[in-house]
Amino acid sequence: MIKPGDRAPDFTLKDSEGNPVKLSDMKGSWVVLYFYPRDATPGCTTEATQFTAYMKDFTKMGAEVLGVSADSCDSHQRFMVKFDLKVKLLSDPQHKVLERYSAWGSKKMAGKVLMGINRSTVLIDPEGKVAHHWPKVKADGHAAQVKAKLTELQA
């Protein structure tokens, strides 16, 4: 389980254009790493568009915003274009990073227990340590919660 003070597990994943993105290359910046179930679904669209709405604020605070799902790079590209998203979306089809960040596991849907992505967020400080972890997230309003926590931690 990810917890504040832990070293954030390093990773390299491809973005929507197929370019590798490595967490350790972002040392010196804050990183908002949010995990979401699926491109273009209602909750995931709400979350991504709200993070996009705050991108100027996150940039001013020295924070990168990265969304991770198991969707393909092509799916991410279509999602970004359709909703004019400004967040960077990363593809983890083998769930390796999702598992390392406790975002892959069992969840209930329609009364059944399934394996899938649990919507969650990890805020990583400029030293590469976990500053805050939201293990269960409600999409609507979450970007504002993350912005408020980042503001608090930088004060």
Q: Which domain holds residue 82?
A: 12-21+28-154
* Active-site annotation holds for 73: no
Question: Does residue 114 form part of some domain?
Answer: yes
- In one letter, which amino acid is 12? T
- In one letter, which amino acid is 42? P
Per-residue pLDDT in tens (0 to 9) along the chain, 155 residues: 899 999 999 999 999 999 999 999 999 999 999 999 999 999 999 999 999 999 999 999 999 999 999 999 999 999 999 999 999 999 999 999 999 999 998 877 778 888 899 999 999 999 999 999 999 999 999 999 999 999 999 98
pTM over 0.75: yes
CATH number at residue 118: 3.40.30.10
Q: From residue 93, give the alpha-carbon distance in Å to each of 23, 34, 134.
A: 17, 16, 22
Question: Does residue 87 form part of some domain?
Answer: yes
Which residue in the list 44, 63, 70, 103 is annotated as catalytic? 44
